[in-house]
Structure 1
Amino acid sequence: MTGAAAHRDRGSTIVEFAGLFPLILLMMAVIWQCILIGYTFSLAGNAADAGARAGAAARGDAEGACAAAAREDLPGAWDASVSCPLEGDVRRARVELRVPVLFPGAFSLPVTVTGTAGAAEEDRP
């Protein structure tokens, strides 16, 4: 490359980076949102499992124990709806969580993630 050609290309890297930088930020935001969606699925499943186990083993208020156990490990930023019906001999737990947008506790997507679990009622003497 001659001196004149190198002089004309000066600054082109900065211009290209400035053009791509918003796209890079957008892609990072989309990836982060996908991570939050996956984490919400994990939280919902774990909460439902904990609730079903606690409800099946509880003496007395099984639905209350189920709901309390399901909410116990959930971060406060996730809006949860918990139901724990008894279906036959199986205590079912259903946990519905709203997916946050980028930062938990701010806004939520119009998407609800559901986690369900069941545990057999324990024999009571």
Structure 2
Amino acid sequence: MTPLIILLAVVLWQCALIGYTFSLAGNAADQAAHQGAVTQGFRLRECQEAAKKDLPKAWRKSMKPSKCRHSSGMYKAEVRLQVPVLVPGVLDWPFPVKGNGAYPLEADR
């Protein structure tokens, strides 16, 4: 019975890591889109830096480059993060988790 309980604990932990990665990707995309929309200069650079800013180190290292763009009055960001396998920073799943964010562009002053 003990191996079954341990296996269940491992599966639940991995599910928690997947959920946490989705949460991190969505939050990073929202922050990146907001920063890109309110910046009056180098929007792309500011967007990409904001995406990395609050990520834990293990997720920041495995992050794919953010996609930042503007269209029809909105600034959009897409962040892709790798899901760690059991221990963050050691091994990642081969598929990324995507987070998307959008924010209305601020008018130039």
- What interval of TM-score do these two structures reach, taking the shorter chain for normalisation? over 0.9
Structure 1 runs, 4 residues or longer, greater than 2 Å off:
none
Query: What pairs up with 1:1-125 in 2 under 5 angstroms?
Result: 20-78=1-59, 79-81=62-64, 82-125=66-109
Q: Give, in angstroms, the shift of residue 111 of structure 1.
A: 2.2
* Deviations 1:17-46, CA, capped at 9 Å, x for gaps: xxx111111110000000000000000000
Give the alignment's TM-score, normalised by structure 2. Answer: 0.93
State the AA in 1 paired with 2:53.
E
**Which AA in structure 1 matches 2:74?**
V
Farther off after superposition, 79-88 or 22-31: 79-88
What CA deviation, in whole Å up to 9, does each residue of 1:32-65 have, x standing for no partner?
Answer: 0000000000000000000000000001100111
Indicate the SS of the match to 2:58.
coil
5+ long unaligned stretches in structure 2: none
Give the distance between the partners of 1:113 and 1:42, measured in 2 at CA: 10
Q: Which has the higher contact order (CA 8 A, sep 6+)?
A: 2
The alignment's TM-score, normalised by the length of structure 1, stands at 0.82
- Tell me the distance in 2 between the aligned counterparts of 1:80 and 1:58: 23
Sequence identity of aligned pairs in percent? 45
Question: Which 5+ residue runs of structure 1 have no aligned equivalent?
Answer: 1-19
Letter in 1 for 2:2: F
Q: Structure 1 counterpart of 2:63, which letter?
A: A
SS of corresponding position for 2:57: coil
- How many residues matched? 106
Over aligned residues, Cα RMSD in angstroms?
0.8
